[in-house]
Chains A and B, each alone.
Chain A
Amino acid sequence: MQEPDTLDVHKTSMSIASVITNHLGGTLLTVNADTNEIESNLAESYQVSEDGKTITLKIRQGVTLSDGTPLTAKVYKDTFDRILNPETGATVAASLIGGIQETSAPDEQTFIIELAAPSAPLLRNLTSRGYLQPLSMAAIEKHGADYGRNPVGAGPFIFKEWVTGQSITLERNDDYNWPHASAKNQGKAYPDQIVYKFIQDQQTMLAALDSGSIDVAMEVPPKDVQRYRDNPDYYVIEAERQGLGLFLEMNLENETLSDLNVRKAINMAINKDAIIKAVINGEGTPAYGPIPSAVFGYDPNVESYGHKLNKDEAISLLEQSGYTKNSNGIMEKDGSELTFELSIMTQHNQAAQMVQAMLKDVGIDVNIQSLEAGTLIEKVSQGEFQLSFLAYSYIDPDILYLLFHSSQIGGLNHVRAQNSELDGLLEKGRTTIDPEERKQVYAQVQEIVVENAYWAPIYAEKVFFVVNKRVQDVKLMNVNLDYQDSWVKQ
């Protein structure tokens, strides 16, 4: 894993910082691992008003931060105020609570959030790890600029030491007795300490795992997973990543790609299973819509109406649009061949070559253009591309607003979709609080995105953790590891 930038959760934008700080703090709400529904946690109950603009949370009593500050509604209010204060420079934390107008703490236990408009993603954001944990203003004041290396929180572990370039050590919080409801162990955690070691190179990380220098390896590459499954000394924990590991974007402003038949034909020419097998060793799921099953709002029907591999149909769609195969085997219309440029970053090279061959089979010629990541992202966001590969991860279907709403052209709406029906649904999805109703909205969104074939979705990835059997009962929570019930065999 990488070394985090800081453990000040308001200032970091690195996911590893949220993984580590999650042991140091807690979340107001949590997600049930089995049902994917929202449950209470540090807030023992929560209530959303009729108009959806006010959220009232009752803060759990008897919780103390590691510097002795008791957890009250005021602590939460100060924490949220700090995030919303532009001087803090909060990035991820601020985006997670975007839309909050103000918060108040009328008494010790009641924490009230006022919103400008109802926000469905907010409740789920309140479950995200690390970033929104309650902080001690006294500790922040005491340590000043060094707070990021001396964090304080209300979690099962307490920050002990950060050795630059090497490791971060957390030790058990012996006063802790407020774990999430689904943990078997409702008291303090079993492990005495957790040491996070920064190992940049994945193969070095696996060598460290093999040699016993570390017990848990995070983000293990799919190609290495099988040998640990076959090894009785280890166990593999896997989760579906929230997001898509690979999809093909098509620029709608390109004249050829503005033809729906062409976009559908591209969808039908791609063999997702073959790509999964070659690129991620078969450790993934084919994607038919813009969100994977691990994200709330996923509509399983997408598997039946989504575009499937069908070369004949792809060819006939192209023929319907007036293309005919020329002597080179390439589709041609009015004397010009059907040729695209596929812009990628080097890591997607293998998948790009496969797609190139697959499209060639139906008479579409593809040139691969490999670019440096920063340059690629700048180009695609400005619409200077034809086809491009991308991946994303996000916990809420609201990501689709960023990817397809017409206001996001120039940003993440790389395909430059301008569909007023879709815009309306994406806006509705943001403000619909009722989970069932919200699911309906996103079911429609998925259908429109698939019908219009803005993308060719390819696969959803898995995340793999490999654990030495010495360490027992490591569990998965919200795509991350939880050590509340874990213990070490001596």
Chain B
Amino acid sequence: MTINIDQANQKAIDAFMEARPVLVGVAKVMDVIPGMHENLFLHAGPPVTWERMSGPVRGAMIGAIFLEGKAKSVEEAEAILKSGQIEFAPCHHYDSTGPMAGVMSPSMMVYIVENTTTGYKAFSGLNEGRGKVLRMGAYSEEVINRMKWLNEVLGPAVDRALKEMGGLDIRTLLAKALHMGDDGHNRLDAASLLYTNFLAPYIIKTATDLTQASEVVKFLGENALSILNPVMAGCKTMTQAGHNIEGSTIVTVMARNGTDWGIRVSGLGDRWFTAPSPKVKSLYFPGFGEDDACPDIGDSVITETAGIGGFAMATAPALVTFIGGTPRDAINTTLDMYEITFGEHKHFNIPFLDFRGTPTGVDIRKVVETNMSPRVNTGVAHKDPGVGQVGAGVVSAPMKCFEDALVAFAEKFEI
């Protein structure tokens, strides 16, 4: 049977848009992620070995070893990680997405987001806020203590609240936040406040300790990225719904690990197409510069894959203060992304562009044809383990991923 690419792509992005991600609860990685085992640590991006692993991922792995109680010193932790005792795998191989280093180890708590249209579940960790955090490769005592508090206090409190309220519709919340100046990736100020606002009554209602409940609500409300992880898991359920459609050239995964950039394409199964991860064009925090930066990293680009984030930048002009540029640049970024996407989103739209749907479904044909790759807004981690975030900026995906995928597509379908 000959394929019809346009029809296949329409099917893929329809599935993206029909997905109804609902945040249903919080649970331990070990208990909910299928195939997880005691010595499996997940990380962002495509597969990578310890030898090639970037500083932030190594740092987060060390932090995870500490959190799992497997070692007490950095040397000890590195020895274990180097020894081969720990299996490394991409989050995406286990229905998960992790921001920045994206490290997930067995005892961490994760959000569970279910696409109620298909029943598919995706997972993502609890957001630690900004600054020195595990996802940026930091592993100091302060970092580990916060991780423990998230696991022991925030996670259970949010889980109780979610169960009490019967789940939270991520798609509706995102659609609303896009009209409040969020892009759904780097700017989630509005979405995080909405999230806190929805959860707070239920957190209090189901509280076992009101002081803790107050701390949890305060933490969620003050962290402008509180909802980043549920959003990423939600986007994962959307793009996964459009994966594995015969003859589709739509990108269903984009991810990076600080070493490589990788994509997966709907019609090409679970094969990764990778290229060296580029440096981010960034504004740096005081005291840091380009030489300190790790190349582009993290699974959060799943938001752009689903049609928001950098692709919806026209609706989030305030973002330009964070990454440099003018509001016009934000609009032009979105307009550029229409050139490389197959469709426009039915549920996410942009008031400034007459409520036009966001550019949805990166089409490898269009990327190669226009020689223009997806643009992503992103945080920048220090290249060394243990330091943390040093800046934020913009990056374009390496063309090679898309070119290789196009060639593979032509081979597979004998075009």
User: Do A and B bind?
Assistant: no
* B residues neighboring A (CB under 8 Å): none
* A residues neighboring B (CB under 8 Å): none
